[in-house]
Structure 1
Amino acid sequence: MKITVIGGTGLIGSQLVSRLREAGHEVVASSLSTGVDLLTGAGLDEALDSADTVVNVTNSPTFDEASPEFFRTTSGHLLAAGERAGVRHQVILSIVGVDQVPQLDYYRAKTLQEDLLRQGPTPYSIVRATQFFEFMDAVMSWTSDDSTVRLPATHVQPMATADVVAALADVATGAPLNGTLDVAGPEVFRLDELGRFTLSARQDGRSVVTDEKAGMFAAVEGDVLIGGPDARLAPTHYKDWLDASR
């Protein structure tokens, strides 16, 4: 099978390209660095030539009010190029609960991307993942100083990017879902508790203060970021991942 990965040099894309190649597939890794620009459409026809499946794991350069237009433009270019190339399956990576947090610009933008794919001309699959283990440092950095990290008690069910990649690979090489697959980590945490656990494991002396107004996830209400009863649960536990990453 020939598969084009848009965003194929990034955190998720590079792992996905390696996994698919190891499984024997012909894979084209496309990104700005390879001459493919989703915002203008440049290079897309060449990247999608004779591809059976396209997996889009690109991300908006910002999380603000500019992100909806990024996904509107890039989705339009990719869907049109895929139709010209005769692509039979379009796959995107999205976020569990993305349509339940309209107060966040970025989540509204990802919801728009999903809607455009559903309305597009090609059979599709949407893989919604929970937050990545690898992003925990960034989440803490948003609201931290030299002595304190402020985090809300939002419930999260994080997962390793390697497990996200495994789910994407399975979906990309299978029949189109024409629907959504949720994937989530094996454990649910409160975000503030996850911060304390992370700092303790790294022997970081800062303290975590529970602050329901701190950071992007303060806008999340209820358990919408948790994988539902039909979610595919990933095998990697956060403690094991932390131990392996040290």
Structure 2
Amino acid sequence: MKIVVIGGSGLIGSKLVRKLGEHGHEAVPASPDSGVDALTGEGLDEVLAGAQVVVDVSNSPSFADEAVMNFFRTSTGNLLAAEEKAGVGHHVALSVVGTERLADSGYMRAKVVQEQLIKDSGLPYSLVHATQFFEFVRSIAQAATDGNTVRLSDALIQPMAGDDVASALGRTAVGAPLNGMIEVAGPEQFGLDELIRKGLAFQGDPREVVTDPDARYFGALLEKGTLLPGPDARLSTTRFEEWLPLNPPPAK
């Protein structure tokens, strides 16, 4: 099966390409680095020729409200039009658990628009809503840092390893289109503040994590369960304490 992975050189995309290849599929990574740019439409017709499935794990280079909205609206529109022209039979997109509950976040508003475009396209599709990745501990901390202090809500989160996200996407891509959404999540819950405190401590990061229920998460004010999946979520098995020693921070 030829499966084109839009954003195939990124964190999740590269893992997905490898996993699909190991299972005998023709997994084609597509990104601006390989001459395929969904934002401009460059290279889409060529890379989608003969593809049965497209998996979109691309992300906006800017999280500014206007830029991220333009990215997801334009790139998704271009991609869906090219897929229809090429006769692609299954569009899979990676999104975020809780997207519909985070309207204060410009990023999440853009993801809602992306999902609506997919639903309205008439193409067979599957949406995979994942919880936050272990790999983003440092970027979450950075976004909440003021001086040597990291202010974070104690809202609950059920994070997962990037490898497990890629596995869930792979299973979805080779299956029948859901024409709906599934949620995937990690096996254990943390307070958001607790998760980042554990991650930074393991990495020897001296910043102090301060619990602040009013701290915003990428622009959104969180309720206790805003970031949690529903009861039907498919749970992965990799625990944070198992993942940490296998993923040390980059050498300084």
Q: Where in structure 2 are the equivalents of 1:146-225 lying within 5 Å?
A: 147-216=148-217, 219-225=221-227
Tell me if structure 1 keeps the 8 A contact 2:138–2:200.
no
Give the equivalent residue in structure 2 for 1:126. 127
**1:110-146 per-position Cα deviation (integer Å, ceiling 9, x unaligned):** 0111111011121000000000100001111223356
Partner amino acid, structure 2, of 1:200: A
Given residue 44 of structure 2, which amino acid in structure 1 is its aligned partner? Answer: L
Query: Partner of 2:21 in structure 1?
Result: 21
Q: Match of 1:61?
A: 61
Read off the aligned partner of 2:176 and give its amino acid letter.
Answer: A
1:44 aligns with 2:44: yes
Residue 3 (structure 2) aligns with: 3
CA distance in 2, matches of 1:204, 1:59: 27
* 1:198 positional shift: 2.0
TM-score for the superposition, normalised by structure 2: 0.93
Alpha-carbon separation, structure 1, partners of 2:169 and 2:27: 14
Paired with 2:196 and 2:140, the residues of 1 have a C-alpha distance of 9
Q: Tell me by how many angstroms 1:77 deviates.
A: 0.6
Shift of 1:65: 1.7
Q: Which residue is 1:90 aligned to?
A: 91
Say what the alpha-carbon RMSD is for the aligned residues. 1.4
**TM-score, scaled relative to structure 1:** 0.95
Deviations 1:8-30 (A, max 9, x none): 11111111111101100012111
TM superposition shift of 1:196: 2.3
How many angstroms does 1:69 deviate by? Answer: 2.0
Q: Deviations over 1:58-109 (max 9, x none)?
A: 0112222221221111111111100000000000000001011111100010
Contact 1:79–1:121 (CA under 8 A) maintained in structure 2:
no
Identify unmatched segments of 5+ residues in structure 1. Answer: none
Separation in 2, partners of 1:29, 1:147: 39
- Distance, in Å, in 1 between the alignment partners of 2:96 and 2:39 is 22
Q: Name the SS of the counterpart of 2:40 in structure 1.
A: coil
Amino acid at match of 1:165: A
For 1:205 and 1:9, locate their aligned partners in 2 and report how far apart those are by CA, in whole Å: 32
Secondary structure at the residue paired with 2:9? Answer: coil
- Could you list the runs of 5+ residues in structure 2 that have no partner in the other structure? none
Aligned residue type for 1:93: L
Q: 2:239 aligns to what?
A: 237
CA distance in 2, matches of 1:126, 1:171: 9
The CA distance in 2 between the partners of 1:162 and 1:145, in whole Å, is 31
Report how many residues are paired.
Answer: 246
Asked whether the 8 Å contact 2:155–2:226 carries over to 1, the reply is no
Q: Tell me the CA shift for residue 40 of structure 1.
A: 1.4
Which one-letter code corresponds to 1:38 in the other structure? A
Contact 1:142–1:215, Cα closer than 8 Å, also in 2: no
